[in-house]
Structure 1
Amino acid sequence: MLKDHARILSAIDAAGHITGRKKLQKMIFISKKLQYPFHERFEFHFYGPYSEELTLKIEELRNLGLIEELREKENGYLQYDYSLTDAGREFLTLYENGLDEHLELCLKELNGQTSRFLELVSTVLFFDHLTKAEVIQKIEELKAKQNYSAEEIEEAFVYVIQLMKNNKQPLSMPS
């Protein structure tokens, strides 16, 4: 249990800070799909893959004072920003040997992307058992409100391939 919490803390620490609940969810999901050791279960939800377990762990970490959750209103929406507290950094020195170098780089790369793009990438990965044409159909059906262009969808597939090349273990890709 504490190892999973420490791993989440390490992910936030590697990113520096993560702006947005959706972005945090997508970063952990994508990392898990890339075979990094995250154990939270994900289901498909309004904004793509979502883990209630991850939400609860984040809440626990916040309640324990190990992460800071800043809330700001931006464009009429409440935006959350996550970072480690001093207590969170101290906790990591006790329970974690640090992240794999590849995972650290992956998390920094993912954190540089927009939440909208990570939602698309995570959707592609969620349906990685389907053909590329079927994944595109799912995106068009399930993500109609997002109005992703054909170029954005293709960019997401290219990005997934790039992530897989940078990953330490081979993965399957929709064909």
Structure 2
Amino acid sequence: MFKDHAKIIHAIASVGEISGRKKLQKMIYISKKIAFPFQEKFQFHFFGPYSEELTLRIEELCNMGYLNESHEKKNGYHQYCYSITDSGQEFLNLHSLDNTNIQECLLDMNEQNARFLELVSTVLYFDELEREEVEEKIFTLKSKQKYTHDEIEEAYRYIESLKEKARLH
């Protein structure tokens, strides 16, 4: 049990801070899909892949004092930011993790905006389908986002670049 908690703390600690619940969900999902052993189950939701388990683990980690959740109002929306606490660092020190190569991928994802990560995670969610079918799903399920063919192409390239980073380390 605590190993799964430690993986989440490690992910957040490796980037310093993650701004946004949606972004955090997408970063963990993408990491899981490209190579890293996160155990949370995801299902398709309004903003793409979503894990109730991950939401509960984050809440537990905040309640235990291992993660700090701050929130600010930004453009009329509430933005939650997550960072590791000193207690969280002590907890991490007790749990050895063999996923040091995740940091470069997470740092890269953390620099992307949540809208793009939503697209990338949606592409990965439907990765068993042919590319044309994936595009059709995106244009149908994500019509409000108004993604373009170029953005979808960029998402596929981005996924390959993350997979390459994961293999190199």
TM-score higher than 0.5: yes
CA distance in 1, matches of 2:155, 2:166: 16
Q: Are the equivalent residues in 2 in contact too, given 1:27–1:107 (CA < 8 A)?
A: yes
TM-score (norm. length: structure 1): 0.93
Which residue of structure 2 lines up, in the alignment, with residue 162 of structure 1?
161
Which residue of structure 1 lines up, in the alignment, with residue 19 of structure 2?
19
Percent pairwise identity: 57
Alpha carbon RMSD of aligned pairs, Å?
A: 1.2
Which residue of structure 1 lines up, in the alignment, with residue 32 of structure 2?
32
Unaligned runs of 5+ in 2: none
Q: Are the equivalent residues in 1 in contact too, given 2:35–2:163 (CA < 8 A)?
A: no
CA distance in 1, matches of 2:163, 2:62: 32
Task: Tell me how many residue pairs correspond in the alignment.
Answer: 168
CA distance in 2, matches of 1:82, 1:113: 16
Which residue of structure 1 lines up, in the alignment, with residue 100 of structure 2?
101
What SS does the corresponding residue of 2:41 show, helix, strand or coil? coil
How far does the alpha carbon of each residue in 1:61-97 deviate from its partner, in whole angstroms, 9 at most, with x for none? 00111100001011111000000111111111112x2
Unaligned runs of 5+ in 1: 170-175
How far does the alpha carbon of each residue in 1:80-115 deviate from its partner, in whole angstroms, 9 at most, with x for none? 0000111111111112x2452321111111111111
TM-score (norm. length: structure 2): 0.96
CA distance in 1, matches of 2:23, 2:91: 24
What SS does the corresponding residue of 1:148 show, helix, strand or coil? coil
In the alignment, does 2:68 pair up with 1:55? no
Structure 1's consecutive aligned runs of 4 or more residues displaced over 4 angstroms after TM superposition are none
